[in-house]
Structures are given as C-alpha cells and as structure tokens.
Amino acid sequence: MNFGFRSSLCESCAHKQEVVSGTGSRFLLCQASRTDPKYSRYPHQPVVQCEGYVVEGESKSGECRPEDGAARGR
Ligand code: SF4
C-alpha cells in the first residue's frame, strides 16, 4: 500500500506496518522500533535515509547486500 510518501524509504521497507485508525487515517508504523529504541514508532515522513532499511522480501536479519541482488539476476 502507498501511504502517500512515495519518496520515503518506509514505503518499500520490510519493517513497515500499516496502521488504520478508527477514523480511517493511515499511519506507517516502524516495526524495528519494537526491538531498537533508536527507531521511532511512527517515523516522520518522508524518511530519505535509514540504516535499518530492508527491502521488502529480503531478510530482516541482515543488510541488503549487492551480491544478494546479483544472485537473483538483478
Ligand atoms: S527501518 Fe527505517 S525505512 Fe524501515 S520502516 Fe523503519 S524507519 Fe522506515
């Protein structure tokens, strides 16, 4: 889902979670904040640089390495 922050890393991050309020407002929750206090629960948008960024579909346990993409032909 796009939260309207197309330039934000959070949009394509494996750590993001959509939260919808009772009034229908949508928020982007950073699940990394559950285990690491340096991340905001609801980061200010757009996020343009983040060391916790993990491409959706990649492992959350490690960094996205160039060789990972190469192994899949990217
Ligand atoms: S780890 Fe960074 S890029 Fe990913 S959802 Fe949290 S704040 Fe956004």
Tell me the per-residue pLDDT of 28-62, one tens digit each, with 9 for 90 and over. 999 999 999 999 999 999 999 999 999 998 765 54
Residue at 25 is within a domain: yes
Task: Note if the pTM is more than 0.95.
Answer: no
| Ligand 1 center–CA 66 separation, angstroms | 19
**Residue 1 domain flag:** no
**Separation in Å, CA 6 to CA 2, 31, 45, 74:** 7, 19, 10, 22
* Residue 3 pLDDT > 80: no
Is the shortest distance between the CB of 15 and ligand 1 below 6 Å?
A: yes
Nearest-angstrom CA–CA distance, 35 and 8:
21
State which residues form the domain around 43.
9-58
- Is 3 a domain residue? no
Q: Which residue has the tokens 């950073």?
A: 30
Give domain status of residue 65, yes or no: no
d(C-alpha 8, C-alpha 30), whole Å: 12
Say yes or no: CB of residue 53 within 6 Å of ligand 1: yes
In angstroms, the CA 69 to CA 42 distance is 29
How many domains is the chain partitioned into structurally?
Answer: 1
Residue 18 corresponds to which tokens in the numbers above? Answer: 């959509």
